Chain A
Amino acid sequence: MKSETQTRPAPRSRGRRLGAFVFLSPGLAYLVVLLLVPLALVLSYTVFQRGRFGGVVYEFTTENFARLLDPLYLGVLGDSLQIAALTTLIALLLGYPTAYVIAQLPSRWKTAALVAIVLPFWTNFIIRVYAWIILLSGPGLVNSVLGTQLELLYKQGTIVVGLLYSYLPLMVLPLYAAIEKLDPQLREASANLGASGFTTFRKVTLPLTVPGVLTGCMFVFVPSFGNFVIPEILGGSKTLMVGNVVRNEFLKARDWPFASTVTLALIAVLVVLLLAQAWAARRA
């Protein structure tokens, strides 16, 4: 009897596990076919050599990793980190107040504001980036309105502006979600206990929205770090970012092994940052 009662739940749980597996399988298949397999390919290329006319020659080498340590590429990595970090910081400083204000709006305005934030995503990315050229070029809109001859394009700062413009919504939305979730009573309680508005923000609102801040930062940092279109169009190819190196090595030099190695370095940096983010979010 006893053994029967013990075995009874087993088939059900096995069935449940099977069910879970069936429901997960499309996602798993997607991950395996479109992420893990290509990733494994990329990783395997890192130890091979470039063929005389491009492509991959399957002869083992560690030269690609040695080349990564070349000051040229370390410099590119440093530039990319710096540009992406600056973009993320400014996005946070602009995005937090925006998200905060939107979260306080009456609900129908809230919807309108969120739609306005997402709206630019409905237009083609390249077109939106090119629009900045019309604004910032020598004879462009900004200079003609101001009556100036400022050099606004083709600088590192222009790249930051372009990245900021493109990815700011990705900062605002998770922040909004985090702020909106806050129980207003917590702030009321803080006020009742005599805290000023700023103290309430510093001691209540901000700590409780740290996970949102971290998510927003990753959402902005990740695409900024690997971007290659904006440095090219708005930076005038005068600055290289990691994404440009990957693109150039893959397509122009046809050096797939080295391009894969740079890709690996890029992914490694992002994974480290994601782990740090996950760790910080858990502690928050």
Chain B
Amino acid sequence: MSRIRFTRRLPAAVAAAGLALAVAACGGESSTSPEGTTVAKAELKANADLTQQSLQITVWEGYTPKELPEKAKEKLKVKDVKIGFHDTNETAMAKLTSSGDSGIDVAFVSGQYAQALNEQGLLEPIHPELIPNLANLYPEATQLAYDKGNKYSVPYTWGTTGICYRSDLVKTPPTSWNDILKPPAWADKKVTMMTTERWLALPALKALGYSVNSDNDQEIAKAKELLLAAKPHLLTYDDTTFGDKLKSGEALMVEAWDGWCPTSEKNIKFVLPKEGSDLWVDTMVIMKTSKNKEAAHALINYILDPEIHSWAAENINYKVPNKAAMERVQVPEGSLLGIKPAELLNGEVIVDLGPSSTKYTRLSSEVATQS
């Protein structure tokens, strides 16, 4: 082995540091079609030749059936269906907004992000006549605060946030957000909260009786006080592995999205706190830059097919806002899939707060830096 040499100065190190930060976001591939430029709403044809169109989708990994691209390609008779993945809404936004044309036709993002994309003028309005399967949706799913009437987004899954806990290890089952914010002595340092800003704030806002969409400075300041008081009693902030922490017994109660609470385990249960919670929705949207809009509508219509749509409930344990699909699903007792749409609708739909959203970024930074 030859001797390892290092230069004394570190241009490469500086380069790497600068580069990593500089290219934080990058776009996808672009697709072309003979149609060319943006098509206005009225111009979409119900009988367009889909064999000339190909689709690029971006979605969370594992959120749709693995064989979706091949099956959709065959069923819709489109030229090609390609699927790409994003790990969070934020990376999806970076993908979709960083360049004029991201090359993406259909994107899966949460409701408030669909709203933000729409307000930036990046979304194609939904043409209901091209999606007959919209009729399968629960009536409630067409009345969601961020997009009443599904004008630019189609809901794919929905759910809420609550407390997931170990029924065999807690002395009294939690009923309130305060059980996490001010844990009793036996649960001290055995609770976790989420770190993503809107969900970090949610328990405090709800415990104080405020809206999860509050942009009132005083309310946010009060929530901050409550979160800071809670910090020393938390095990940690965790968005991804809280289920494992419950299984191992390292945590007794965690703030959790319903679909992420491992209720299939014997002693793990989920409760909606009495102060109420949110209603989150993950949606499908069509980009204005898409040159394959007819195929994009056809794909959404295909996904709303009860047989396809029920896959999400059966495989990822997320409720789908599709009545026909949910009726096909065998709901095991105690499963979170049993939560009824009406109950879900008691939750407050998270909406994008525009300029006020930075208040929540600041809040989460403040909570993270203070001890």
Taken together as a complex, chains A and B put the C-alpha atoms of A211 and B116 apart, in Å, by 52
Is A48's CB within 8 Å of the partner chain B? Answer: no
Is B266's CB within 8 Å of the partner chain A? Answer: no
How close is A243's CB to chain B, nearest CB, in angstroms? 8
Q: Which of B35-43, B235-243, B253-261, B292-300 contacts A (4 or more CB under 8 A)?
A: B235-243
Whether A266 pairs with B250 at a CB distance below 8 angstroms is: no
Taken together as a complex, chains A and B put the C-alpha atoms of A270 and B116 apart, in Å, by 36
Chain B residues numbered 120-167 whose CB sits less than 8 Å from any CB in chain A: 120
Taken together as a complex, chains A and B put the C-alpha atoms of A54 and B354 apart, in Å, by 8
Contact indicator per residue, chain A 233-253, by CB within 8 Å of chain B (1) or not (0) = 000111110001111111111
Whether A218 pairs with B13 at a CB distance below 8 angstroms is: yes
Contacts of A151 on B, CB cut-off 8 Å? 189
Whether A281 pairs with B18 at a CB distance below 8 angstroms is: no
Contacts of A278 on B, CB cut-off 8 Å? 8-9
How close is B179's CB to chain A, nearest CB, in angstroms? 20
Whether B365 pairs with A52 at a CB distance below 8 angstroms is: no
Taken together as a complex, chains A and B put the C-alpha atoms of A249 and B17 apart, in Å, by 17
By beta carbon, the residue of chain A nearest B13 is A222
How close is B109's CB to chain A, nearest CB, in angstroms? 12
Contact indicator per residue, chain A 20-47, by CB within 8 Å of chain B (1) or not (0) = 0000000000010011001101100000
Of B25, B97, B361, B365, chain A has the most CB atoms within 10 Å of the CB of: B365
Contacts of B6 on A, CB cut-off 8 Å? 173-174, 177, 212, 215, 219
Q: Which of A2-10, A72-80, A88-96, A188-196 contacts B (4 or more CB under 8 A)?
A: A72-80
**CB < 8 Å: which of B4, B119, B234 contacts A114?**
B4
How close is B317's CB to chain A, nearest CB, in angstroms? 24
**CB < 8 Å: which of B19, B91, B248, B352 contacts A251?**
B91
Q: Nearest 10 A-B pairs (CB), nearest first?
A: A236-B236, A38-B22, A253-B361, A251-B90, A237-B237, A53-B116, A240-B368, A154-B236, A237-B195, A138-B250
A–B pairs, 29, beta carbons within 8 Å: A34-B23, A42-B21, A50-B355, A50-B358, A53-B117, A53-B119, A54-B93, A72-B366, A75-B369, A76-B369, A139-B248, A154-B236, A176-B4, A219-B6, A219-B13, A226-B21, A236-B235, A236-B237, A237-B368, A238-B236, A248-B364, A252-B90, A252-B196, A267-B17, A267-B18, A270-B17, A274-B14, A281-B8, A281-B9
* Extra contacts besides A35-B18, A138-B248, A263-B21 (5): CB < 8 Å: A218-B13, A238-B236, A246-B24, A251-B94, A281-B8
